[in-house]
A and B are shown apart, each in its own frame.
Chain A
Amino acid sequence: MAHLTPVVMTDPNTVGGLIGGALIGFAAVLLLALNGRIAGVSGILGGLITATARSERFWRLAFIFGLIAGAGLYILARGSLSLELQASKPMLLVAGLLVGVGTRLGSGCTSGHGVCGLARRSPRSLLATMIFMATAALTVFLTRHVF
């Protein structure tokens, strides 16, 4: 099942990684300082499903449109964006379902637990981050090196 798409090897993006990471951290700081919210993307998205108040929906939608618009602006400014999908369509479907169920059940994803939760010194987030990093690495090991 592996290698339906070519395996892409990437070399470290040191400067981009640090600057990009700082920008993500800055965004998280702004959302907490201005709106009093945690910049956890799965939580912001999930709130659209369960939120009842209209004002709750609007800021969530605005953030998500901002995410898409930001990537769109980057494509316009730089001419392109490397986006190399690593899985077949059926696999992307399964992966999307797992990410949706898992982030809802586990109350967060890489941004919510990894960036914001750790900054809040939350033991739940530290544990969640260690677990999803471990199962993700194990999944990649199995799909790339075993099957």
Chain B
Amino acid sequence: MAQIAAAFAIGIIFAFGLAVSEMINPARVIGFLDVTGYWDPTLLLVMAGALTVTLPIFPLILHRSKPFLAAQFSLPRKTQVDLPLLLGAAIFGAGWGLAGFCPGPALAALASRAPGVILFVIAMLLGQWLASRFETRSS
């Protein structure tokens, strides 16, 4: 229960970050990606702001034997660079560039109830489901 409450509160903080930085606005994200156009460096500042917090603090947390509310850390297990990683990142980038939405901002933007956002999120869920079908078949 405590973990569920924590996840909800953390989601709110995350969304505030996306809103304050305006990363929730696809126009701003595309402004960053448009490196040969009228370039907007804001996304780089957001990454810098986030990494200033996470880079020094993550190792301190992971140094502990366990997190405060859970029995153990649940971290990604893959360590090798493989083809799915490279291909997946490239495909994700193409979609991100087309819409200016990545998963976090798209979900937060559902609060606007804009039909285009809802459409994007449904398509994203469908895409994740399709790719997960492929995983179970190939393994």
Contact = CB atoms under 8 A, between A and B. Distances in A.
Interface of A: 8-14, 16-39, 41-42, 45-46, 49-50, 58-60, 62-75, 81-87, 89, 91-111, 113-120, 122-124, 127-129, 131-141, 143-145
A29 B17 CA distance: 13
Question: Taking chain A's interface residues, is the majority helix, strand, or loop, or is none over half, making it mixed?
Answer: helix
Interface string B117-139: 10111111111111110110000
Given A96-B99, A128-B89, A24 B111 contact: no
A97 B82 CA distance: 22
Contacts of A91: 98-99
B53 A26 contact: yes
21 contacts: A13-B45, A25-B53, A68-B15, A70-B111, A74-B111, A85-B117, A87-B100, A96-B120, A96-B123, A96-B127, A97-B124, A97-B130, A98-B127, A104-B88, A110-B103, A111-B102, A118-B54, A122-B76, A123-B81, A132-B96, A145-B36
Interface of B: 3-28, 30-31, 33-38, 40-43, 45-55, 57-58, 61-62, 66-70, 72-76, 78-81, 84-104, 106-112, 114-117, 119-132, 134-135
A147 to B, nearest CB: 12
A68 B114 CA distance: 13
A144 B53 CA distance: 34
Contacts of A127: 81, 85-86, 89
A62 B16 contact: no
A92 B98 CA distance: 7
A68 B49 CA distance: 22
Contact of A86 (B62, B100, B112): B100
Given A41-B107, A109-B103, A100 B125 contact: yes
Nearest to A30: B10
B48 A66 contact: no
B138 to A, nearest CB: 11
